[in-house]
Structure 1
Amino acid sequence: MYLRFTSRTNADGSVVRYVALAHNRRVAGKIKPDVLMNLGRVDQVDVEGMRRLAASINKHFGGDGDGTGVEAGLVAGAGPLEVVDARSIGATWLLDGLWRRLDIAAAVRTAADARRFTTNMERVLFALVANRAVAPMSKLSAAEWAGEDTVIPGLASMDDDHAYRAMDLLVDADTAGRVQEAVFFAVANLLNLEVDLLFFDTTSTYFERDTEDHGEDAFRRYGHSKDHRGDLPQIVIGLAVTKEGIPVRCWCWPGNSNDQQVLAEVRDDMRDWKLGRVITVVDRGFSSADNLAYLRRAGGHYIAGMRMRDGSPLVEQVLARQGRYQQVKDNLRVKEVRIDGTDVRFVICHNPDQAARDKQQRDDAIARIEAELARIRDQRERDAKRPVGDRTRQRHEAAHVRAECALRDHPSLGRWLVQQPNGRLKVNKAKIKVEERLDGKYLIATSDPAISAEDTALGYKNLLEAERGFRDLKSQLLLRPVFHRLEHRIRAHVLICWLALLLVRVAERATGETWRNINRQLGRISQVTLAGPAGTVVQTTPLRPEHKAIYQALSVQPPARVTTFDPR
C-alpha cells in the first residue's frame, strides 16, 4: 500500500491536492491503482493521526516505533533518501495567501484573460512583488530567485522576459487605476478600514544618470529633490494611505512636477472611487489657496498644514488670538481659532517637548555664530596691526570676507544673520524674537465643520504614516536604484513596490510585528525534496509556535507538512 496524490485546479488558478490510501493490482496484465480510502485534502490531513498509525505498524512489525514521519514509514526498507532540493517557503506562502485574500490575483487575471500567454502572468507578477518584499533585487535576479531559491506556489520557473511581460500587463491593467481600485475596496472590506481620512504626500526618487530625458513628454527630469540629489534626474511619486497606514493608491509624475500641480489629479482620481465623505490630509507643501479650494469641490474636505513663516496676514491674525490650550496628550496641546468671514477652522498645536528642542537648537546655533563672528573679528584686528604691504593686507581682508560669506550662506546658520550697511554681519535679534513665539507650534486648517480640534490634530499627526511608507519603500523595499529606462516600465516598477508595501502593511497590522521580524521568522521554513529508490517526497520543515501564530493572525493556512509523495 502507498499514498496516492492527485490534484485539481480551481477556477481562480489555485491548485488543491488530495491524498488517498491505495494499492496496485494487476488487471489484464496491467498494473492499476486501487483506492482503498480517501484521506481528503493534503492541507487538511490529520498528520498526527497518521504518525500514530505508522508508529503502531513499526511497533508490531519492527522498527523503532517513534513514528518520525508518515513519509519515513511509507518508504521504510526501500533504500536511503537523498536531499535533492531545498528552498525557502514560509514568507512567500504567507504573501501568496494575502495576495489571494486581497483579490489582487483576481484583478490581474481579469486583465490577463483577454490575452494568450503560455506562462501564468499572474504568478509571475506575484513572484516580482514577493521578491520586492522578501529579498529585493533586479528583475533578472528576481527571475532566478523565483526559480532556484524560493517556492512560488503555482510557478515552477520564470525568466526575465516573463518578468517584463508581467510588468507591461500590470501597467495596461492599471489604466485609470482599475487594479488599485479593486484592491482598495477588497482591502477596505476585509480589514474594515476607516477611509474617511486619507493622507497624501509626495516624494522623489532619482536615477543614476547625468542627463534628463528630452521632449515635451519626458519622464525623467530634473526637479526639486527630496533626497537632496538635485544633480540627478528624478520622478515624483505620490502615495495615499489610510489612518492605519495601509497604502491605497500611488501615482507617478515627471521629475519636474511640484506639489502644487499634482493635487488636482489626486483629488479627481479619488473622487472617481465614490468613497462618500472623505477628508484629505495634506502637508504644508499643498496648502495653497487654489489647492484647498479644489479639495472642497463636490463636498470634499481637508485637513492641511499651514505655513507659519511666510508672513501671511491670516496666519498672523490666527497666532495673535488669545485663548486657552486644551490638553490632548502629555506632549500635545491644541487651541481652536475661528476667524470672521471664513468657514475654515484653525487649530494651533503646541508640543512642549518640541518647544524645548527648538529653543536648544536655536541657542546652539546662535552660540556657534557668535563664536565664529568673534573669531573673524579678532583675526581682522590682529591682521590690521601687522606691518605688511598693501597686497598682503588685501589678501587678508579677502579671506575675512570669504569667511563671512560662508557663514552667511550656511544652510542652517545663515537664517539667524543680517548684513549691516558696512557689510559686516550680526545676529538678527528680531528674527530670534519672532521664532521664540513659534517654538513647538504648528498650525492646521480644516474645512470640516464636524471634526473636533483634537481629532484634527491627531489626524494631521498621522500624516507621518505616508512618510513612513516612503521611508520603507526606499530602504526596506529598495524602490531605488531603478534600472528601467522606459516610462511604462518605471511606472510598473513603482506599482510593484506599492503592492509589496500593501502586503507588508497588512501583515504588520494583523500580527503587531514588524515585517523585518516576520520575514526573518518565516524565512526559517523550508521545503525539502528527498529522492531515493522508493520515490520522491516533498515536505516542509516543522513549524514552530511563532510561525503558527503569524499564519493564524493573518488567517492563512500554513504550508502542508507533506506536499508530494510519488512512489516509483
Structure 2
Amino acid sequence: THVTKKLDLDVDILFLDTTSTYFEIKGEDDHEGGLRKRGHSKDNHPELAQVVAFAVTKGGIPIRAWVWPGNTSDHEIAQQVKHDLSQWNLGHLVMVQDAGFNSARNRQILLQGGGDYIIGEKLRAGSKGEAVEALHRAGRYKTIEREGKVLLCKDVLIDEGSATQRRYVIVQNPEAAQRDKETRSQIVEEARRRLAALAQLSGEPHRKAACRLRSHGIYGRYIGQRKDGTLFIDEEKMKRESLLDGKFLISTSLMHCSTEEIVYGYKQLWEIERVFRDVKHVVDIRPVYHHLDDRIRAHVLICFIAMVLVRVAERTLSMSWRDIAYTLTDIRVGHTKGPDGELWLMSPLSEMQRNLFSTLKVKHPPKIWDF
C-alpha cells in the first residue's frame, strides 16, 4: 500500500498472473507447508520444484508479490489474492486474468465484495459450452482502432436478464487471422508431403512412421485415421479451426463498460508478461538455492522490490531499463596508491548521466569515493 500511495498508482484495475521459477534441487520438500513442491512448470522444468505470482497495475508497476508451493491450485491462489487485496480498501477492484484462471469457482471468488473481472476464455475447435455458443452467436462486428492497430469486436450476452447472465466479447485481429491462415497452410502442406512419403514404405517401417506422424504435436493435428488404419488430411478440422483464425474471447462481469475498454483492458495483460520476463532475465530471480521458507520469500521479495524500482525508473525517465543501464555503464572508480594512502576517484559524469540522476532524485556519486 505504501508503494501505491507514494507513486499515486491507479489500482482500480489490477492484472494478475502466475509464473514459476525452479529450485536447484532434485527432490521437493517432504514436510507439510513447504514451498518447494513440483507443479506445472512454465520454464519447462516439471522435474524440479516450483514456486510465484504478481499483481500489476495497468501502468506496468508491480504492487504485490506472492509465493506459493508449485502444486497450489488456481482457486486457492485466487482466494488468497482476493482476500489480501481486500484489506487495502481499494474500492471497486477489477481483476484481469488470462484463460488459465478461468473457472466458475474462480469467477465467483473475483465477484466477492463487489469486485469484477475481465478474463480470457479458452478456444478450441470442437469444444462445447457457453464460450462456444457466444463465439457462434450471430451479430455484427464493429471496428475499433488504437495506435494504428485495427480490431473487430462483437458483444454477446448469454442468459440475458437472468442471474447467470454473462457478457462475452469476441475479438478478431485481421493481421493475426492472416498469420494463422498462412501457418496452417504451411503445416498442412508439410503433412501432405509426409503422408505421400508413407506410401513408399510397407510393413513394420510403415506402421512406425504412421504412428509417429499421427501422434506428431504439429502435423498430427490435421491428420485423421479411418477404421482400416489409413491416414488422411482432416478437412473438417481445418474448416473448424479456420473459424478461430485471429480470434480471442473475453468474458466479463462489467455490463456497463464499453467494448473498447474491455478489449484493451484485457490486452494490457502483456504488461504482467513483461514483468515475468524481466524478473527472470533482468533481475535474474534464478538460480534459487534456498532451503528455508523465510529465505525463499525474502529472495522473491527482493526481486519484487527490484522490479518496482526498474519500472519506476523506466516510467520516470521514459527510457527502457536497457538504455538506462547502458547510459550508466561507463561510470568507473579509479584507484591510486601513494605514500599518503589510497584514493578512489569517480570518473566525471556526462551531462546525460547527471540528468538521469537528477530526474530520479538520486544523489550524484561523490567525486572522491573513498580515501
TM-score normalised over the length of structure 2: 0.91
Deviations 1:189-242 (A, max 9, x none): 33332111100111112223332222333322222211122222222x111111
In the alignment, structure 1 residue 209 sits paired with structure 2 residue 31: no
- On the 8 A contact 1:202/1:259 being kept in 2, the answer is no
Quote the residue 1:270 is aligned against. 85
Question: Of residues 143, 167, 172 in structure 2, which corresponds to 1:326?
Answer: 143
- On the 8 A contact 1:220/1:254 being kept in 2, the answer is yes
Distance 1:209 1:298 in 2: 41
Q: 1:472-487, aligned counterparts within 5 Å?
A: 472-487=278-293
- On the 8 A contact 1:326/1:335 being kept in 2, the answer is no
In the alignment, structure 1 residue 195 sits paired with structure 2 residue 17: no
Quote the residue 1:146 is aligned against. none
In the alignment, structure 1 residue 498 sits paired with structure 2 residue 313: no
Number of equivalences? 364
Question: Of residues 188, 193, 196 in structure 2, which corresponds to 1:366?
Answer: 188
Distance 2:73 2:219 in 1: 27
Q: 1:72-471, aligned counterparts within 5 Å?
A: 185-235=1-51, 237-309=52-124, 311-321=127-137, 322-329=139-146, 330-339=149-158, 340=160, 341=162, 342-380=164-202, 397-471=203-277
- On the 8 A contact 2:4/2:63 being kept in 1, the answer is no
**Cα distance change of structure 1 residues 338 and 259 upon mapping to structure 2, 3 Å threshold:** same
TM-score normalised over the length of structure 1: 0.61
Greater share of residues in helix: 1
Cα offset, 1:299, TM superposition:
0.4
- On the 8 A contact 1:337/1:347 being kept in 2, the answer is yes
| Residue range with higher mean Cα deviation, 471-480 or 297-306 | 471-480
Cα offset, 1:407, TM superposition:
1.5
Deviations 1:324-368 (A, max 9, x none): 222223332222222223443211111111001111111111111
Distance 2:357 2:12 in 1: 30
2:270 partner amino acid = L
**Cα distance change of structure 1 residues 563 and 232 upon mapping to structure 2, 3 Å threshold:** closer
**Cα distance change of structure 1 residues 209 and 404 upon mapping to structure 2, 3 Å threshold:** farther
Deviations 1:61-100 (A, max 9, x none): xxxxxxxxxxxxxxxxxxxxxxxxxxxxxxxxxxxxxxxx
- On the 8 A contact 1:540/1:560 being kept in 2, the answer is yes
- On the 8 A contact 1:302/1:448 being kept in 2, the answer is yes
Distance 2:231 2:349 in 1: 69
What SS is found at the alignment partner of 1:204?
A: coil
2:33 partner amino acid = D
1:463 partner amino acid = L
Distance 1:335 1:549 in 2: 48
Distance 1:534 1:398 in 2: 86
What SS is found at the alignment partner of 1:253?
A: coil
Q: 1:534-553, aligned counterparts within 5 Å?
A: 539-553=345-359
Quote the residue 2:331 is aligned against. 525
How many percent of aligned residue pairs carry the same amino acid? 41
Query: Which protein, 1 or 2, shows the higher relative CO under an 8 Å CA cutoff with sep ≥ 6?
Result: 1
2:287 partner amino acid = P
Cα offset, 1:424, TM superposition:
2.3
1:326 partner amino acid = T
Distance 2:145 2:251 in 1: 17
Cα offset, 1:425, TM superposition:
2.1
What SS is found at the alignment partner of 2:210?
A: helix
Distance 1:409 1:300 in 2: 44
Cα offset, 1:549, TM superposition:
2.1
- On the 8 A contact 1:530/1:538 being kept in 2, the answer is yes
What SS is found at the alignment partner of 1:347?
A: strand
Cα offset, 1:539, TM superposition:
4.6
2:153 partner amino acid = V
Distance 1:315 1:427 in 2: 27
Cα offset, 1:293, TM superposition:
1.1
Cα offset, 1:438, TM superposition:
0.7
